[in-house]
Structure 1
Amino acid sequence: MYIIMTGRSEQWHYIKTGLRRLRIVMNGYRRDSRSAHFLFLSAAAILETSHRIPNLDYDILMKLTLQLTKSMEECEKLYRLMCFNVFAHNRDDHSKNFSYIYRDREKRWILSPAYDLTYSNSIGGEHATTVNGNGVDPGMEDLLSVAKKIGIGMAKARKTAAKIQECVHERLRDYLSDTEIEND
């Protein structure tokens, strides 16, 4: 069981989680039109797993995203984030760095915007979240395999991954060419 505080209400709400269900108990929860309240849960909280132990694969995250959001669009967002993490060498992609927001007005969950994105090696130099079982050096085939398993079209998946790879490499090249390194 997890306890979270939502919005500016300063009221605590109890979240019961499990692999097959998510139940939210909100007693005395009040909203007014001036304040925005939202529920924010990490994949670590939902799956009841530690972010300190690399035990997650993007395939599981895709299934969680589809089950929770009921939206392929949200799975495609996660696919883009997975591609970015692979190509930008963000290996600190643990289960607390993937979260979901409940939109009360729409009565639905969405994948939260990406956060904690940085070049990193993580534990043992591997991705904290494996890509198709590969944490050491995942590549295009691993990305496409995850996309195929969740039902993202191969042409779209390949085009998306290639575009993100090109963008990351182009930005990195621009950054490095603009950075002056002095020799002592």
Structure 2
Amino acid sequence: MAERVSGPEIERLIQLLARLPGLGPRSARRAALHLIRKREELFGPLTEAMHAAREKIVPCSICGNVDTVDPCTICRDERRDPSLLVVVETVADLWALERAAALSARYHVLGGTLSPLDGVGPKDLNLASLVERVAPGGVKEVILAVNATVDGQTTAHYITTLLAEYNVRTTRLAHGVPVGGELDYLDEGTLAAAMHARTEF
């Protein structure tokens, strides 16, 4: 077993950083060393930002986005078209579409996808609140911007069936999004093109 080369505080920092997506043990060590080297200019502001985020960030009660206000900034924006509702799996997908600036619409975050193998059923997703938003009739088009994975497509089919009784057009992203691709990893140009070339589901 390898000897520990630093104190428990540094080891704890590395372990916590390694839990972040995209950071393995080596990347976490590099990030920790960088923070330590730049501790005067990074540690204080980072600690304050993380504390503020922990205290102030809340989920939006309308769409499921995260923000420091509820309803979130997007839901409060009166310039957005309330008749267009973009359904995404996660907040990361919402942010990816916003970076592409392809459409000025409202959003609905499902909180995942249907996955029988993982025990995720309809009651585990924000599907009831989606129906509540569509039922009154103000939404004219629901854009299913889910990932092109098996679970994503299963979820899209389920939503289409769920909304069939309402007078709403259901579309999906064009096939510019590769099969197996995840929105958060695509470039803005691909996302914008896919959004503009959306098709009937």
Q: Tell me the TM-score range normalised by the shorter chain.
A: under 0.3
TM-score, normalising length: structure 1: 0.25
**Bigger fraction of residues in helix:** 2
